[in-house]
Amino acid sequence: MHLQARVRHKTTVQYATRPDLPRLAYRKLKGKGPGVVFLPGYASNMGGLKAEALEEFCRSLGHSYLRCTTVFTIILVGSSMGGWLMLLAALARPEKIAALVGIATAADHFVTAFNSLPIETKKEIEEKGSWSFPTRHNEEGSYTMSLDFLKEAENHCVLQSPIPVSCPVRLLHGMKDGDVPWHVSMQVAERVLSKDVDVILRKHAQHRMSEKDDIKLMVYTIDDLIDKLTTLG
C-alpha cells in the first residue's frame, strides 16, 4: 500500500440540493466497493488532512470514496461529531453500511456537556438562546451554537440504550483528547450489539488525530476492514 503525502489529483466539489434546505457540498471519487464515506467533525470541513489522506488511499486501491456513495455498501468513517452522525446513519440505513470507523467519536457530546453545566449557566444559555464555549480549534477561541441545535441534538442521543448495529466497528481515540474523553469510545463499544468491535487508544494523540502516525493508523484500520470485507464477500 502506498500513501502519498498529498492528493495529486483532487476531486472537484459538487453540490447535492435539498428542497427548503441548504445545499450539501461533497467530493466523490468513483470506484469499486466497498466505498468509503468520511463525515467530518463539528466546524470541520472536507478539506482536512484525514479527508485528503482517505481520498488518496481509496484512489490507490480503486475504491469509491465520498467526502456521501449509494451504489455499494460503505465503510462509514466519522470524526468527532461525525462519529455521532456515523452511528445515526448506521441506525437509519443498516443495509447500506458494511463497517464503521469512529475517530474520537463524540456520541451525545454536546448534550452531555450542556447537561453537566451549573443550573445558573444553563438558565443563562436558555435565556440568551445560544451557547458559546471555548475551543483551541479556531482563531476566535470559541464556538457558538444555538439552543435549537442543542434541543434537536437531544432527540438523537445514542448512549442511553443498546445500539442495534451489527456490522464491524473500529473506534480510534487519543488518550490526550481534551475535548471528548476517550471513555466515550469505550461506552460506544459497550453499547453497540456487534460482536466485532475493536477500540484502539493512542496514548499521546489529541482530539483531531491528524498527526502523521494518527492518519497512518486510520488508513491501516480501513485497509484491514476492506481486506476483511472483500474476503467475506
Is 11 domain-assigned?
Answer: no
Of 98, 130, 156, which one is at a domain's C-terminal end?
Answer: 156
Among all chains, which residue has been given the C-alpha cell 476483511? 228
The cell for 131 is 451557547
Domain-embedded: residue 120: yes
Counting Cβ atoms within 10 Å, is residue 127 exposed (0-12), middle (13-18) or buried (19+)? exposed
pLDDT at 111: 96
Q: Please report the pLDDT score of residue 134 as a whole number.
A: 80
In 3D, which of 158, 144, 149 has the Cα closest to residue 106? Answer: 158
In a domain, 7, yes or no: no
Same domain, 74 and 114: no
The number of folded domains in the chain is 2
Q: Are 102 and 170 spatial neighbours (Cβ–Cβ below 8 Å)?
A: yes
175 & 228 share domain? yes
Query: Is there a domain that residue 18 lies in?
Result: no
Closest residue by Cα to residue 44 from 94, 104, 98: 104
What span, in angstroms and rounded, lies between the C-alpha atoms of 151 and 146?
9
Is there a single domain that holds both residue 135 and residue 99?
Answer: no
Structure confidence by residue, pLDDT tens digits, 111-135: 999 999 999 999 999 999 999 888 7
3-class DSSP state of 57: helix
Report the pLDDT averaged over residues 192-213: 95
CB 165 within 8 A of CB 193: yes
| Residue 98 grid cell | 458494511
Residues labelled as active-site residues: 80, 177, 207
pLDDT tens per residue, range 160-189 = 999 999 999 999 999 999 999 999 999 999
What's this model's pTM, rounded to 2 decimal places? 0.78
Judge if 118 and 98 occupy the same domain: no
Tell me: do 133 and 65 sit in the same domain: no
Residues 150 and 185 grouped into a single domain = no
Torsion of CA 214, 66, 89, 146, to 10 degrees: 80
CATH of the domain at 44: 3.40.50.1820
pLDDT in tens, 76-108: 999 999 999 999 999 999 998 999 999 999 999
Kindly give, in sequence order, each residue whose CB lies less than 8 Å from that of residue 47, ignoring residues fewer than 6 positions away.
none
Domain of 125 in residue numbering reads as 109-156
pLDDT value of position 9: 52
What is the rounded average pLDDT of the residues 36-63? 73
The verdict on 115 and 152 lying in the same domain is yes
- Both 47 and 123 in a single domain? no
Q: Kindly state whether residues 122 and 202 are assigned to the same domain.
A: no
Of the candidates 125, 156, 187, which is a domain's last residue? 156
User: Domain for residue 15, yes or no?
Assistant: no
Residue with cell 502523521: 212
Question: 152 and 82 in one domain?
Answer: no
In a domain, residue 13? The reply is: no
Q: Does residue 6 register a pLDDT over 70?
A: no
pLDDT of residue 113: 93
Does residue 148 sit in the same domain as residue 212? no
Same domain, 141 and 57: no
Residue 188 lies in a domain: yes
142-156 residue pLDDT tens: 889 999 999 999 999
Tell whether 4 is covered by a domain: no
Would you say residue 203 has pLDDT above 50? yes
